[in-house]
Chains A and B, each alone.
Chain A
């Protein structure tokens, strides 16, 4: 229970369905030390968020606990976030948190409390067909969060409930209002929870100062076009903030941390015919080579038509039907067939 509307309604629905529910907020991030600082009042892991969650739990008359999981979160998510930036990649901390914290460390805590299942307020659907679990996009495609759950396998799905996955967001809010929850009108969380002011570059530079060092901006042939302000300020596909006058718009095509160089090119240079993924998890079984899939390469995007190339237990390759921009190393590539997740991996 993050103190937001989704997990609050998820808890209420489970209570209504007759489950014995324990509400838990994971304290993942220490955050701002100054108790008077403005951003102590919003966002996840703040005192305000746990107060909201506690109020909802009181209303539902369920036990409620705050579990301290800062060490696990730091090691699995925050350190990785910085390390990925430092190697020129674009991490997805939410997917990482689901894989290592919510559906691993938190599941372990649930086991210790004798719980049979864990539930979250994700917009995703999990169904059992008598033989195996199917993970599908949330009914509300605008809010769908199956992308960040791509690394869940049968073992995790067997222990998980997504009570609001079949709802439209507007319906969730309506239910929260009917239940009299104080959080009914609370805005959706947007940014990465541990970067409280949304300034990723500042956050990364504090922990990896080398990413603030200026260096060359190069074209594909190695010609110097300008000077970058430190690699922490750029991601692949970025157009703004390069400060180069050129006849056609330029985009970041590659981040070369070894040379501290930013490689740029025209829009066409972003096009990828396919991609290779590592650290792969198959929801049930790997697909066949040549099988048609939809590949989603970033959160809040659509699945792109593609064909399976090489497939193994822990890696895969795909070819897009048409070349695609928006493929960033470090992001997740989640594979779907129709609206069902079949597997996921990290883009190389």
Chain B
């Protein structure tokens, strides 16, 4: 509101950026911050208890994605998991270098290490998407080369929420013995994710996207897949990822994973109903277009372009009124850059600049949605 500047957030609608820690995860973490502080790799009681908690969490995370517990390696988050998937596979194929395919709409945690690998002599190629942001399995088949070593296609896009045909892509890569990675950071806890149904070899997870703590994630590494350690200097995680385990973080991730798994279908129904209400409201605004809406989408992300609006100003006005929403990714200084996802989908620079990402969480309510829609209308009327 003009004349009433807010310096706090009242309605949080940027759940694709992060989510609040759930109470059960917080409660589960607390004993491991102080009391059971032992290094999980040491032999005495306080450490054995920490180790047991890490193993419990490993089982909980494995269950979320239908993996074996020993296929879960804990990391510092989704970015590390994505980086490691690429760099670790590249190290394991160092002699031949070889060909790597990544989709054009991947998170920068994939695109930037892919650039590094190109600098190091790998043949890195981008897979284009259609106007809904989807990769076609046939397009991948077409791009494969005899020396293709790795393909990375995300499960759910973080900006538009569009799902990729991961299972089909995985099936055609499996036949050919090519390593397949998927970034499932936005899918886990929102959609049913099964590493066997998806035919993936590597899969990235981030705890704080499903109400777990920040600073912890996991990489699923299928038994027998050609991989190398990246972070070295200790035998933790069976020698696959060195460094003292983040025990409280891992415990929190495990509990959050278990709750997300248990409540999956109920949460899906709830988020879908909230999003339906949100999108009905948004569609009534002048010049509104929901990006990627003709493709299957995860239930928690809506990306809307409002023709003729500057989304940056809209988002800042909403912030001043106490509403938190996203407008694509920020650079180091915090300035917003036009979305590479929307431009890859063939949207113009101006449509990309006019787009807002609203992402829902289970803590959001119907009145959050209604208040948000009222606020957007107020800003649009004023300008």
Contacts and interface: CB of A to CB of B under 8 A. Distances in A.
A30 B319 CA distance: 25
B310 interface: yes
Nearest to B382: A114
A146 interface: no
Contact of A54 (B5, B316, B334, B337): B334
A164 interface: no
Q: Is the interface of B mostly helix, strand, loop or mixed?
A: loop
B317 A113 contact: yes
A27 B7 contact: no
B333 A113 contact: no
Nearest to A47: B332
A63 B319 contact: yes
Contacts of B35: none
A50 interface: yes
B307 interface: no
Interface in A307-325: none
A45 B2 contact: no
Contacts of A47: 332-333
B233 interface: no
A67 B335 contact: yes
A54 B5 CA distance: 17
B7 A113 contact: no
A269 interface: no
Sorting the interface of chain A by its residue count into under 10, 10 to 19, 20 to 34 or 35 or more gives 20 to 34
A22 interface: yes
Interface in A90-127: 109, 111-114
Contacts of B313: 109, 112-113
Contact of B320 (A35, A70, A113): A113
A61 interface: yes
B332 to A, nearest CB: 5
A62 interface: yes
B5 A27 contact: no
A348 B336 CA distance: 39
Interface string A28-70: 0000000100000000011100100010000001110111101
Contact of A68 (B5, B7, B335, B382): B335
B353 to A, nearest CB: 9
A68 B6 CA distance: 22
Contacts of A109: 310, 313
A216 to B, nearest CB: 44
A283 interface: no
21 contacts: A20-B3, A20-B5, A22-B5, A27-B331, A47-B333, A62-B5, A63-B5, A63-B7, A63-B319, A65-B316, A65-B334, A66-B334, A67-B312, A68-B312, A68-B331, A70-B335, A109-B310, A111-B383, A112-B310, A113-B313, A114-B320
Given A20-B5, A109-B313, A111-B383, 7 more contacts: A27-B335, A47-B333, A63-B7, A63-B320, A68-B337, A109-B310, A112-B383
Q: Which 3 A-B pairs have the closest CB atoms?
A: A27-B335, A112-B313, A68-B335
